[in-house]
């Protein structure tokens, strides 16, 4: 694909970040989260880089994501973070060393009928209220898992607000989770892998590290929240992706002329505009036009007019030429734009900015 718009992924940065995060939880297994195609950066290449840097496990959200990793030759254990849909469970029999998550008796029965004696991980709902068995029902479901012939290898939960430094809720969740694990142990269940720490908890809640940690966003050099941005920079976490394109067209607009749909930007003076062949169809948030910039020739150039599906316009100086590199997020010379900054400006999170980079944007890898 010869399109000038591209996402450059630094596998060296992935390995750097994994090494740093591993050092924060040296006594825990390291499960690298590569769901959603490694947050848009390519699960196979990123997953292998994470393994090369010391990751013990990989985690995905879907069976199809696990299959992609296996077909690429990755042999490390893979955790499927969500309970598989009943239509997909039959696929587990062809996937070796893949651990499904369970939180209902029906799924336990279906998995046991397809892969007898398979190891599973039990998800406990301690307050996220998305999925998971209730703490009150966890022990009885664990009994059912064992009675069905499956092996209860792991138990885990997920934090709702570990990225909020002043929140007491992570500690409340941790206490509740510990009670569940203690009850399981008392009832004869001794899962060997206990895990709950996501990126924010790896960074900020060492008491939660347990036998395995599951960092995601921090592995890609992006902060889990604005509050943790400084800590990520101080630790030396490096952004793993740079989103760039090239200037495709340059023209002038006169004072009083408008730009793009809705005519929402009005030129206050004669202005030189550069058009970039990238838009919200490629994952650039449409709302970013109001405050966004791109980097061209080492300078930040403001976006002018509403971002369209395939193109956006920026104000430039007379030195800019067609073919010049334009960086949507990444760095050039002394300027940098991060996914976190875009997220903050568009009232979303860095996860969404990274994962939204579209399939029509080719990925290139730097070892």
| 104-115 residue pLDDT tens | 999 999 999 999
Domain range 11-235, CATH class: alpha beta
Position 333 scores a pLDDT of: 87
Evaluate whether the domain defined by 241-366 bears CATH number 2.40.37.10: yes
Domain ranges of the chain: 11-235, 241-366
The alpha carbon of residue 153 and the mean position of all alpha carbons in its chain are separated, in whole angstroms, by 25
234's CB contacts (< 8 A; 6+ apart) are none
Name the token pair of 315: 């104000």
pLDDT per residue of the chain (367 residues) written in tens, 0 to 9? 689 999 999 999 999 999 999 999 999 999 999 999 999 999 999 999 999 999 999 999 999 999 999 999 999 999 999 999 999 999 999 999 999 999 999 999 999 999 999 999 999 999 999 999 999 999 999 999 999 999 999 999 999 999 999 999 999 999 999 999 999 999 999 999 999 999 999 999 999 999 999 999 999 999 999 999 999 999 999 999 999 999 999 999 999 999 999 999 999 999 999 999 999 999 999 999 999 999 999 999 999 999 999 999 999 999 999 999 999 999 998 999 999 999 999 999 999 999 999 999 999 999 8
| Count of beta carbons in the 10 Å neighbourhood of residue 126 | 27
Please say whether the dihedral angle defined by the alpha carbons of residues 339, 341, 345 and 348, taken in this order, is positive or negative.
Answer: positive
Which of 35, 39, 123, 220 is catalytic? The answer is 35
- Beta strand 312-315 with 299-302: parallel, antiparallel or unpaired? unpaired
SS (H, E, C) 341-367: HHHHHCCCCHHHHHHCCCCCCCEEEEC
Name the token pair of 275: 């058009």
Question: Does residue 261 carry a catalytic annotation?
Answer: yes
Burial of 295 (0-12, 13-18, 19+ CB in 10 A): buried
The alpha carbon of residue 49 and the mean position of all alpha carbons in its chain are separated, in whole angstroms, by 15
Which of 255, 261, 269, 280 is catalytic? The answer is 261
User: What does pLDDT average to over the chain?
Assistant: 98
Same fold, 11-235 and 241-366: no
Do residues 278 and 352 touch, judged by C-beta distance below 8 A? Answer: no
Position 2 scores a pLDDT of: 86
Position 358 scores a pLDDT of: 96
């Amino acid at each position: 694909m010869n399109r000038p718009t591209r996402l450059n992924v630094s596998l060296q940065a992935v390995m750097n970040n994994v090494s740093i995060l591993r050092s924060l939880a040296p006594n825990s297994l390291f499960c690298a989260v590569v769901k959603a195609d490694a947050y848009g950066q390519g699960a196979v290449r990123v997953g292998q880089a994470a393994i090369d840097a010391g990751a013990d496990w990989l985690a995905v959200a879907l069976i199809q994501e696990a299959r992609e990793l296996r077909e690429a030759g990755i042999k490390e254990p893979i955790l499927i973070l969500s309970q598989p849909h009943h239509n997909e469970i039959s696929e587990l029999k062809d996937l070796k060393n893949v651990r499904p998550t369970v939180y209902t008796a029906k799924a336990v029965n279906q998995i046991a009928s397809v892969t007898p004696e398979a190891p599973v991980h039990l998800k406990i709902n301690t307050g996220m209220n998305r999925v998971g068995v209730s703490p009150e029902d966890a022990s009885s479901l664990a009994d059912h898992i064992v009675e069905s012939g499956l092996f209860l290898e792991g138990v885990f939960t997920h934090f709702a607000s570990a990225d909020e430094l002043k929140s007491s809720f992570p500690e409340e969740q941790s206490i509740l989770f510990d009670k569940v694990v203690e009850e399981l142990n008392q009832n004869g269940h001794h899962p060997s892998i206990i895990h709950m720490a996501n990126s924010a908890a790896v960074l900020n809640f060492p008491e939660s590290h347990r036998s395995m940690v599951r960092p995601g966003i921090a592995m890609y050099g992006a902060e889990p929240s604005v509050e943790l941005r400084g800590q990520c920079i101080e630790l030396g976490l490096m952004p793993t992706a740079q989103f760039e394109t090239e200037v495709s067209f340059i023209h002038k607009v006169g004072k009083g002329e408008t730009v793009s749909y809705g005519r929402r930007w009005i030129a206050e003076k004669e202005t030189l505009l550069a058009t970039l062949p990238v838009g919200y169809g490629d994952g650039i948030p449409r709302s970013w036009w109001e405050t966004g910039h791109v980097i061209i020739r080492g300078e930040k150039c403001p976006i002018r007019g509403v971002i369209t599906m395939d193109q956006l316009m920026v104000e430039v100086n007379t030195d800019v030429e067609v073919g010049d590199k334009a960086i949507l997020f990444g760095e050039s010379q002394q300027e940098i734009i991060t996914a976190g900054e875009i997220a903050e400006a568009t009232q979303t999170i860095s996860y969404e900015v990274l994962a939204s980079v579209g399939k029509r944007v080719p990925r290139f890898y730097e070892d």
